Structure 1
Amino acid sequence: MTHPSFNLARSADILQVRGRQILDSRGRPTVEVDVSLRDGSSGRACAPSGASTGRHEVLELRDGDDGLHEGRGVSKAVNNINGEIAELLKGRPATSQAGLDEALRTHDGTANLSRLGANAVIATSLAICRAAAIHERLPLHRYIAQLLGTTRTSMPMPMTNILSGGAHARRSMDFQDFLAIPVGAKTYGDALNMLASVRSAASDLLAEDGITTLLADEGGLSPGYASADEAFRLMMRAFERAKLRPGHDIAIAIDVAASEFYRDGKYHLAGEQRTLDGEEMAEYLGDFIRRYPLISIEDAFDQDDWSSWSSFTKRFPKVQIVGDDLFVTNPDRIARGIEVGAANAVLIKVNQNGTLTGAFEAMKRARAGGYATVISARSGETEDSFIADLAVGSDAGQIKIGSVRNSERLAKYNQLTRIAELEAAELTFSFS
């Protein structure tokens, strides 16, 4: 029997919002939020954090107290959650995701969420979504599909870090990541098996070569090769060791993270002791496209080098050219990219935008322009598996989690395994 004072129509109303400081995968503070509803449903979510960040992203709020966590504490963001944000949201229905996200943005009052902190806002936004899904008695990925007004879901094709450099591995290589994409896989289970085999093969080969490797932030191996070509050759050897056919079963993706080594209008490759302009950088990358099964390139140029992006995209239309720092999950920057023909795919990182609804808008804008979407984790992650459900529920098509190592990465891979069991969906891979 329903208690007389319990209004079923208001059972999804937010009763409490509670934030706390936890540690991410790099041992640095981040924000965790619990959202509780009147009917007893509750949702928890955590804010990820990037190492290689674009200058146009929304801003995390950090304490700046050098005596605590080297200034990286998030107590100010937590206080905002437990104070202003909790007061703002209490009594509102968690099922009104778009309205709540807009209320958070309006209440913050800045374009980059710097007052309340983007880390505070995104963790709250995701926790609201999870609480509402539980209230609706739906798996999270299906509730996300419902928010998007679609019944179509799909298992995303994973792209997985094998070798890492850049900001993820103490600048040990110029390029940030060399990844494997199991293009021949028909099921998620097949894809995961291929990726695990390649990662193990690469580790064995580096050991046989007598190379000591640093474990990068996202679980990739960092052999410290001076040239990108050495890394490509190791990837090909790993494919062969894993008994996979390059270009048929498995292919290569790279994250150049070019903004990290762009200065004074030039690209400075420290490992090769070369300095390239935009046209020379395009030719440098084009050589790898011609010689290796390289099918996806992320952040090939600086985040504001629009002309190089446009000319490169036109020159290599059959390659997936992904904008991360270029677009920062911002619908307006994506619209500009579509207008000038820069890239043909968008990396979606929810914390770059600041709210779940904002990330949805970025995906819609990308798709309207014919761009592919890739849901992505950050270098600083937690055990929160939200992006796995987001990739499936939004029919994103691709996901970039990190390597098949470390619990914060495996939480997402394992959640995809559970969803695959529920959905029994085939993998497809297309970027146009």
Structure 2
Amino acid sequence: MGLACGHFGRGIAPSGASRGTREAIDLRDGGKALRGMDVQRALTSVQDSIAPALLGHNATDQAGIDATILALDPSPLKDVLGGNATVATSMAVLHAAAAAARKPLWRHIADHYGQTPTLPLPEIQIFGGGAHAGRRVDIQDFMVMVPGAKTFDEVMEVTSEVYFAAGAIMKQKGRLAGVADEGGWWPIFDSNEEALETLTLAIEKVGEKPGDRVVISLDVAASEFCTDGRYRLALEDRDMGADGLIDLLGTWIDSYPIASIEDPVSEDDPAGMAKFTRRFGARVQIIGDDYLVTNAKLVTEAAAQKACNAVLIKVNQAGTITEGVDAFKAANAAGYRSVVSARSGETEDVTISHLATGLGAGQLKVGSFTRSERMAKWNECLRIQDTLGRDAFVGGAPLANTWWGRKNNGEQR
């Protein structure tokens, strides 16, 4: 994206293997070329429709830019232009505006939206599962968070130790089969709970007390193994309804240092999500991903139903920066926490590192501790920390009044 003043911006659209049915379409060409994954149609949308419509617009008017893009494609899922075309353009404009203002992107975002920038708490995958690892285990992501850390780089150091300890344990047991889509270990387990046992053991192996400085986070991605209201745990040859799955997750919450759970039931089960939130919302963070698809209207509706207490923010899920920020604002209005997130089909684009920081979202989910497209985002946060300062990290003492602080201080045990 080029501006009249000579400044430029670039955005690269990611894609997701696990997708909510209500998120923006990732427009692909189909056919034989590049296994049907070519994006010439999306590029044509940018060149022939979006670019001409944006000529003469002020790049600092992000809302106006995105409204112009949306006017070209009124379809709910952006299946005319393609969500990959709209989000890449929207991100490119954001970068160009920051360049023209001679500001780091995170600072431009903070100033533009009137937010206080903070370095986010990472959520980092140790084991991949579900659609990210050939469904070798049913649960999609087994992750760690280090809310007890005082700086961003301390999180990276502790996570590195846990990650490689987990790999060593699996190798010793003959359970290691490589790495999954997002860089976490591709496991060979006999049950989903064995992954939790192994992850807890890895935390202990590096000298940490599970549930103290280091906690576990799960992305259940329950929609991926739900059919007609029944949940099929293929690894364990088990079939259950929503109540059975909620009870199972409850036993895990009681038995392991789990502080966050994403999509615990299917996206089309608002009653189940509300029930899960009533039972466990005071104890753990409950994130809506496929359930909320970065949609401000859905976040507001979920809040009215008292379902979830946090939302995943994926700008490509919405289709534009403005829609992603609107979902973030709706989360704030509802008293929900926000987790800015990458996708399984990621790129080297680091926009989300700046978005999480500039909005002061508090949390960032990128995938694992390996693969260059993941490390690019973690490393960008480290570079931002060099400018913003280590005290801007949300971990440690500043979390005293949040979900982690209350749990750690014994109020929710």
Smaller-chain TM-score bracket: over 0.9
Instruction: For residue 160 of structure 1, report the CA deviation from its aligned partner.
Output: 0.3
2:40 is aligned, of 75, 84, 93, to 75
Distance in 1 (CA, whole Å) between partners of 2:208 and 2:119 is: 22
How many aligned positions are there? 396
- Percentage identity across paired residues of the two chains: 43
Find out whether 1:56 has 2:22 as its counterpart: yes
Encode CA deviations 1:372-395: one digit per residue, 9 max, x unaligned.
000000000110000000000000
Contact kept, 8 Å, 1:391 with 1:398, in 2: the verdict is: yes
Distance in 1 (CA, whole Å) between partners of 2:234 and 2:38 is: 33
Q: Which residue is equivalent to 2:276?
A: 312
Contact kept, 8 Å, 1:329 with 1:352, in 2: the verdict is: yes
Find out whether 1:244 has 2:208 as its counterpart: yes
Relative to its length, the structure with more helix (as a share) is 2
Determine helix, strand or coil for the equivalent of 2:236: coil
Determine helix, strand or coil for the equivalent of 1:290: helix
Distance in 2 (CA, whole Å) between partners of 1:68 and 1:278 is: 41
Determine helix, strand or coil for the equivalent of 1:109: coil
Counterpart residue identity of residue 264, structure 1: D
Distance in 2 (CA, whole Å) between partners of 1:76 and 1:153 is: 37
1:113 is aligned, of 38, 53, 78, to 78
Q: Which residue is equivalent to 1:32?
A: none
Counterpart residue identity of residue 250, structure 1: V
Find out whether 1:359 has 2:324 as its counterpart: yes
Superposition map of 1:1-400 within 5 A: 35-65=1-31, 67-150=32-115, 152-316=116-280, 317-400=282-365
Contact kept, 8 Å, 1:313 with 1:343, in 2: the verdict is: yes
For structure 2, the residue ranges without an aligned partner over 5 or more in a row are: 405-413
Distance in 1 (CA, whole Å) between partners of 2:76 and 2:247 is: 37
1:426 is aligned, of 393, 399, 407, to 393
Distance in 2 (CA, whole Å) between partners of 1:144 and 1:181 is: 25
Counterpart residue identity of residue 344, structure 1: N
Distance in 2 (CA, whole Å) between partners of 1:171 and 1:85 is: 38
Q: Which residue is equivalent to 2:407?
A: none
Distance in 2 (CA, whole Å) between partners of 1:402 and 1:61 is: 23
Instruction: For residue 431 of structure 1, report the CA deviation from its aligned partner.
Output: 4.5
Contact kept, 8 Å, 1:185 with 1:427, in 2: the verdict is: no
Of structures 1 and 2, the one scoring higher in RCO (CA 8 A, sep 6+) is: 2
Distance in 2 (CA, whole Å) between partners of 1:61 and 1:337 is: 28
Q: Which residue is equivalent to 1:401?
A: 366
Instruction: For residue 59 of structure 1, report the CA deviation from its aligned partner.
Output: 0.9
Distance in 2 (CA, whole Å) between partners of 1:76 and 1:356 is: 21
Counterpart residue identity of residue 207, structure 1: K
Instruction: For residue 335 of structure 1, report the CA deviation from its aligned partner.
Output: 1.1
Encode CA deviations 1:387-419: one digit per residue, 9 max, x unaligned.
000000000000100101011001100000000
Distance in 2 (CA, whole Å) between partners of 1:427 and 1:197 is: 21
Determine helix, strand or coil for the equivalent of 2:260: strand
Encode CA deviations 1:212-267: one digit per residue, 9 max, x unaligned.
32311100112131312100110111101211121111000001110000012111
Contact kept, 8 Å, 1:169 with 1:214, in 2: the verdict is: no
Distance in 2 (CA, whole Å) between partners of 1:143 and 1:334 is: 26
For structure 1, the residue ranges without an aligned partner over 5 or more in a row are: 1-34
Distance in 2 (CA, whole Å) between partners of 1:99 and 1:58 is: 20
Contact kept, 8 Å, 2:211 with 2:257, in 1: the verdict is: yes
What TM-score comes out, normalization by structure 2 length? 0.94
Contact kept, 8 Å, 2:120 with 2:393, in 1: the verdict is: no
Contact kept, 8 Å, 2:13 with 2:88, in 1: the verdict is: yes
Q: Which residue is equivalent to 1:15?
A: none
Instruction: For residue 427 of structure 1, report the CA deviation from its aligned partner.
Output: 2.5
Determine helix, strand or coil for the equivalent of 1:36: coil
* CA distance 1:431–1:363, shift in 2 (3 Å): farther
Q: Which residue is equivalent to 1:16?
A: none
Instruction: For residue 106 of structure 1, report the CA deviation from its aligned partner.
Output: 0.7
Q: Which residue is equivalent to 1:12?
A: none
Distance in 2 (CA, whole Å) between partners of 1:214 and 1:260 is: 22
Moved more, 282-291 or 234-243: 234-243
What TM-score comes out, normalization by structure 1 length? 0.90
Counterpart residue identity of residue 60, structure 1: D
Encode CA deviations 1:257-313: one digit per residue, 9 max, x unaligned.
100000121111011111111111111000000001001000100001111110110
Relative to its length, the structure with more strand (as a share) is 1
Determine helix, strand or coil for the equivalent of 2:235: coil
CA-based RMSD of the aligned residues comes to 1.0
Instruction: For residue 420 of structure 1, report the CA deviation from its aligned partner.
Output: 0.8
Instruction: For residue 186 of structure 1, report the CA deviation from its aligned partner.
Output: 0.9
Distance in 1 (CA, whole Å) between partners of 2:247 and 2:165 is: 30
Contact kept, 8 Å, 1:47 with 1:122, in 2: the verdict is: yes
Moved over 2 A (4+): 426-432
